[in-house]
Chain A
Amino acid sequence: MLLNFDRLGWWKYVLLAITLLTAAFLLLPIVFIAALSFGSSQWLIFPPPGWTLQWYSELFADPRWVESALTSFKIAVIVTILSVLLGLVTSFGLVRGSFMFRDALKALFLTPMILPVVVLAVALYAFFLRIGLGGTLTGFVISHLVLALPFSILSISSALEGFDKSIEDAAVLCGASPLEAKIRVTLPAISHGLFSAAVFSFLTSWDEVVVAIFMSSPTLQTLPVKVWATLRQDLTPVVAAASTLLILLTIILMALVAVVRKVLKQ
């Protein structure tokens, strides 16, 4: 009765109202920011007096915004590649291997997911100051990779667990070398896992703020760090434009994931 929507009676409307209000609450800031980024009010008045593309042109005219976006993109791409490669090798070891402390190792690899990011950020900041990686591209890539790798290992391991190894063995029996069998049989079969690993890794790096704040230098900062630094001074609509572009990229990637999942399922 309570688990049948049509037989809930008037409770149905209470539940529905709470759910719709919550959905509106979750959607409000996203829609609001997108609307503000086109609004002509410097003081972020809503509804805005008129519509304009001024904030976007200011955003693209400022080399520091453009440069930070390019830096973010560069770091995210390198992190994605490294994270998928390392995640793949590690997953093969974790899923197919048999050695002592295998489960403990897997848990260790996933720990960066649950640790408060600020602890990792501060620890890496201290460490990089010592070894001279603070404020460098390498420092950014390493620190983002620490956070992205668990997502990659998780996605690829679960894909690999769902793949029947005897198919790979059959390819070897039919004359393929073990490596060839892995590349031509196993990799295509777990491609959905590789794809999720890539998307999660990219978004983890692209959206990372806390670690990035500590890794950045005046000459090298990512887009979220630039947004952060600007926000500490004022709430300019240029940030709304930058935020809208960040949101847009997320929506595109999410849509891409949905499409690829559908294609891979067929």
Chain B
Amino acid sequence: MSTYSDASGAIMPLPKIRRATGFGGVVPALAFVGIFFVAPVAILLLRSVLEPVPGLGNYAQLIGSATYLKIFANTFIVSGFVTAISLAIGFPVAWALAIMPGRLSSVIFAILLLSMWTNLLARTYAWMVLLQRTGLINKMLMGMGLIDQPLALVNNLTGVTIGMTYIMLPFIILPLYGVIKKIDPSTLQAAALCGANRWQCLTRVLLPLAMPGMAAGALMVFVMSLGYFVTPSLLGGTANMMLAELIAQFVQSLVNWGMGGAAALVLLVVTLSLYAVQLRFFGNQNPGRR
């Protein structure tokens, strides 16, 4: 092996110069992803500054219009609600799953996976029927005497929030389960020995230890919610559009590629920067399906 002397005179091995190997294997995938993923997305984004006239006009129009700002607000508010509710339900469930007897927890895991893998449209359709004015949920609430008039649960943001929370729950429960499972029970025993009561153990030991997992899971649910298309467009009304549907509408009905590209870039930038935050602070978590 060749060597050299560093400043202090010690003999150091020369850094090995290695020939690139195995690159041939990734060439087909690189070509495929380059042509059918990178190029189309890049062209779409380019069109946002080139059409109809070069410049930032599309972006000015996007920010300057109350209609579009309301759509951005809808998107962020719904995603925020979905994230908060998923977290509030998901934490106790993940906690229970982590400490439950094996048989019961495996049944619940099976249900989680089943719902996660069940066709998205099938599940959204179910909520469209369940939540309609004459649907099961309204009938049950009226039967219990909780309400006199059927509630408007669908074709509005309430419907979107219910349907989206349903879809996101497994995505927050599974990573949280992993985090809580890894917490050493002796830390809680130590806290109890030092005189902490149950509530203090929860708020000062368990929650802080689970916090990185909660933050990472919440961020992931939030990002996924921002870009959702199917559920918001079926469960939300035409008056309560969300960002993904706006992009689709610019392109499909209005054939306005400039505005479509601009809205897509906004969604892309928010999504990727939130993922960057996640990678920076919480390491690599499994991204879920859409």
Contact = CB atoms under 8 A, between A and B. Distances in A.
Interface of A: 1-5, 8-9, 11, 14-16, 18-19, 22-23, 25-30, 32-33, 36, 43-46, 86-87, 89-94, 96-100, 105, 108-127, 142-143, 145-146, 149, 153, 203-204, 207, 209-210, 213-214, 224, 227-228, 231, 235, 239-240, 243-244, 246-247, 250-251, 253-254
B229 A122 contact: no
A71 to B, nearest CB: 16
Interface string B244-274: 1001100110000100100010011001000
Contact of A3 (B89, B118, B183, B226): B183
A149 B33 contact: yes
Nearest to B196: A1
Given A26-B114, A97-B21, 15 more contacts: A19-B96, A22-B93, A89-B28, A93-B26, A94-B25, A98-B18, A122-B251, A125-B251, A145-B36, A207-B119, A209-B121, A224-B121, A235-B132, A243-B121, A246-B122
A121 B264 CA distance: 11
A120 B37 contact: yes
Contact of B247 (A119, A203, A239): A119
Given A4-B185, A5-B101, A207-B119, A28 B130 contact: yes
Interface in B139-174: 166, 169-170
A48 to B, nearest CB: 11
Interface in B35-86: 36-41, 43-44, 47
A86 B114 contact: no
Contact of B117 (A87, A240, A254): A254
A116 B136 CA distance: 32
B170 A227 contact: no
B230 interface: yes
A109 B29 contact: yes
Contacts, number: 270
Contacts of A23: 107-108, 111-112
A32 B166 contact: no
B44 to A, nearest CB: 4
B32 A116 contact: no
B189 A1 contact: yes
Nearest to B260: A122
B25 A126 contact: no
B112 A26 contact: yes
Nearest to B257: A126
Nearest to B245: A118
Interface in B2-50: 18, 20-30, 32-33, 36-41, 43-44, 47
B261 to A, nearest CB: 8
B206 interface: yes
A126 B38 CA distance: 13
Give the bracket for the number of chain B residues in contact with chain A. 35 or more
A26 B170 contact: yes
B119 A224 contact: yes
5 contacts: A11-B198, A89-B28, A142-B36, A145-B36, A214-B252
A46 B43 CA distance: 49
B89 A116 contact: no
Contact of B126 (A30, A110, A112): A30
A3 B188 contact: yes
Given A118-B227, A207-B120, A209-B121, A86 B32 contact: yes
Nearest to A246: B119
B264 A153 contact: no
Contact of B20 (A98, A123, A227): A98
Contacts of B38: 108
Given A28-B130, A122-B251, A231-B234, A251 B114 contact: yes
A126 B39 CA distance: 11
A159 B100 CA distance: 30
Contacts of B277: none
Chain A CB count within 10 A is highest, among B118, B122, B123, B185, for B122
A11 B118 CA distance: 32
